[in-house]
Amino acid sequence: MSGLPDYYAILGVLPRASTEEIRRAYLRLAQQHHPDVTGEAHEAAEIKKINDAFRVLSDPAARRQYDASRRKTASRQSPRPAAHSRQPRRSPHTYRSSRRRQVIDFPVRPEETRYGSPIQATIGIRLECPRCANRTTPDCLRCHGTGHYVHRQDVLLRLPRGCRSGQLIELPLSADLWQLAGDVFLRIRVQPCW
């Protein structure tokens, strides 16, 4: 959606999230990215995005207007394919080889897979360092010379009912994060219940 920020992705909540879930996500992110906590001045831009997202999503009237704008923008940007053309469905097993791909093991309890429970979690996503542009500069404070760092992303997932160990689930990311991380999949690992 060009020009329209994805406030749900910024806060790491689903579009059907309650006002309380939005508030909790906002408080967690505001604390996590606050320049006084991180000691990094560039976090001010991130805080501004978080504040803007919360301002819109916590106000019912502003949220309705935002959701309507998202639907309108999405309908304009996704033209219907011609009747004779067939669009293949994207699955975790068919992806462009030029994209980076990350698979993260995601432990779950058996009851969470049985009923398709919603799970709130913090996922560590490996990103290229924006400060040293992946040049592995030894004095880089962000990546400490590795060229990569782990970005912690709070997510709310609804597991498919009856999912099994080894199943891959694509992690929905904001467009900005997707450009940096590539395709990110969670590999379900059902933990034994003993």
pLDDT of res. 191: 80
The lowest-confidence range among 20-34, 70-84, 129-143 is 70-84
User: pLDDT tens, 116-136?
Assistant: 777 888 888 887 777 776 566
The lowest-confidence range among 24-28, 52-56, 118-122, 127-131 is 127-131
Provide CATH 1.10.287.110 ranges for the chain.
7-77
CATH code linked to domain 7-77: 1.10.287.110
pLDDT of res. 96: 41
Confidence of residue 78 (pLDDT cuts 50, 70, 90): very low
pLDDT of res. 31: 78
Compute the average pLDDT of residues 96-109. Answer: 71
**For the chain, what is the mean pLDDT?**
74
CATH code linked to domain 101-190: 2.60.260.20
Compute the average pLDDT of residues 82-104. Answer: 48
The lowest-confidence range among 22-26, 27-31, 40-44, 96-100 is 96-100
More confidently predicted of 39 and 141 = 141
Dist CA 123 CA 70 (whole Å): 26
Compute the average pLDDT of residues 131-148. Answer: 72
Provide CATH 2.60.260.20 ranges for the chain.
101-190
Model confidence at 87: pLDDT above 50: no
pLDDT of res. 86: 33
List the structure tokens of 173: 């990311």
More confidently predicted of 188 and 41 = 188
The 3-class secondary structure across the chain, one letter per residue, is CCCCCCHHHHHCCCCCCCHHHHHHHHHHHHHHHCHHHHCCCCHHHHHHHHHHHHHHHCCHHHHHHHHHHHHHHHHHHCCCCCCCCCCCCCECCECCCCCCEEEEEEEECHHHHHHCCEEEEEEEEEEECCCCCCCCCCCCCCCCCCCEEEEEEEEEEECCCCCCCCCEEECCCCHHHHHHHCEEEEEEEECCCC
